[in-house]
Amino acid sequence: MSMLVTGGGGFLGRYLVEQLLMLGEDVRVLGRQRYPDLERLGVECLQGDLRDRDAVEKAVRGCEVVYHVAAIAGIWGRWSDYYGINVEGTQNILSACQAWNVERLVYCSSPSVTFDGTDQKGVNESAPYPEKWLAHYPHSKALAEQMVLAANRPGALLTCALRPHLIWGPRDQHLIPRLIQRAKTGKLRIVGDGKNLVDMVFVENAASAHIQAAGALLNTPDQVGGKAYFITQGAPVRLWDWINEILALDELPPLRKRVSANVAYYAGAMMETAYKMVGQMKEEPRMTRFLARQLATHHYFDISAARHDLQYTPKVSTEEGMQRLGEELASRR
């Protein structure tokens, strides 16, 4: 059985590719660059952009399962980029899957598709999409998720979406390095009262959830097809305590300085306005409205549906994951 992983050279994508290889699957990757290390493992690597229909069709052709992980993430940028890659790119994936009779499509979405800037305490998948958006990323991911779920057709293409929250672990090139760099330069502050609870998920657990979702689409399509699922460790943490634990793994002092949630929000609004006025859409502002709300609010989720429908369970505990992360950070010093 041939399987395609879009974004297979990225953080989550690599773990997913490795797990599929361990299961003996034939794996193909579509990415914006070549990955010689994956090719040495026997992975077929195709280079292309999700907005290129021909490249997408070439990648999808001959595959029975597609894991659509690739996306443009972030808190800043042009709407045309987010829409082109996350929405139109996903439409290209769907069209190619339908044209080439792909059996199953698992889409990597985000819990932020339900985030309206207020607390989310133990919410489940019945949480609605917000009416207003604080950033282009969640808006574009929500549009793409809705397309994927609407495309589910029993007897044809079966689809589902996963919403892994705050993916972390060794080999991360974005979240962890950014936190550490900002802490080292004195640019990181506790936003709000520091007591907000958040969910997160270790990267290996997020990857295995995708494989379990594909299996569930095969075995229980009527139960899983056309649905979205939150994916987490199943045990929320205090965000700023957890961040301080990460900093401690790199032998950095804990954060002490604070800024109120409202001050951070209005500072983010002013920075967004200033960046737009000067046409700066590539470099991210230090703060945005979306980021301020994410850092100060509760957002944790009920994963009972994933446990029941997908047989999902986080195999790597938070404690074990932190130990592995600490070992990697120590090896870099």
Could you list the active site residues? Answer: 137
Contacts of 129 (CB under 8 A, 6+ apart): 113, 114, 142, 146
3-state secondary structure the chain: CEEEEECCCCHHHHHHHHHHHHCCCEEEEEECCCCHHHHHCCCEEEECCCCCHHHHHHHHCCCCEEEECCCCCCCCCCHHHHHHHHHHHHHHHHHHHHHCCCCEEEEECCHHHHCCCCCEEEECCCCCCCCCCCCHHHHHHHHHHHHHHHCCCCCCCEEEEEEECCEECCCCCCHHHHHHHHHHCCCCCEECCCCCEECCEEHHHHHHHHHHHHHHHHHCHHHHCCCEEEECCCCCEEHHHHHHHHHHHCCCCCCCCEECHHHHHHHHHHHHHHHHHCCCCCCCCCCCHHHHHHHHCCEEECCHHHHHHCCCCCCCCHHHHHHHHHHHHHHHC
Contact criterion met (CB below 8 Å) for 72 and 127? no
Give CA–CA dist 54/322, Å, rounded. 42
